[in-house]
Amino acid sequence: MMAKPKVSPVRRQPQRTCIICRSTTDKRRLVRIVRAADGTGVLIDKRGKVPGRGAYLCEQASCWESALHGHVLDRALNTTLSGEALQALSEHALKFMSEPTAVKENSQ
């Protein structure tokens, strides 16, 4: 008698929401910005493991512009971003802002 091959269940991906455009997607496709619990400031959490209060942004340039120029990120993290933290986030945002956005063409 043959043994049945083990079938591993499909693992559900955690969903998160961008604080600007409110779009929901997989956690890994968003950028997590965290206010570190140890008081070291605000940083980008590439692995999603840093303890502290976090907020998620999608990779759209418009979302990054709104987050950096408004107070949405301050409210989401319950803090006031320092000039140093804003500079670090701006440098990271340049990666998204420099890429040309794809324009959808209407197919008729």
pTM for this entry: 0.78
pLDDT one-digit tens code per residue, 23-59: 999 999 999 999 998 878 899 999 989 999 999 999 9
User: Residue 85, Cα to own-chain centre: how many angstroms?
Assistant: 16
Structure tokens at 25: 């997607």
For the chain, state the CA radius of gyration.
18
Return all residues near 93 (Cβ < 8 A) that are at least 6 apart.
Answer: 61, 64, 65, 68
Distance from C-alpha of 95 to C-alpha of 108, rounded to nearest angstrom: 33
pLDDT one-digit tens code per residue, 57-95: 999 999 999 999 989 999 999 999 989 999 999 999 888
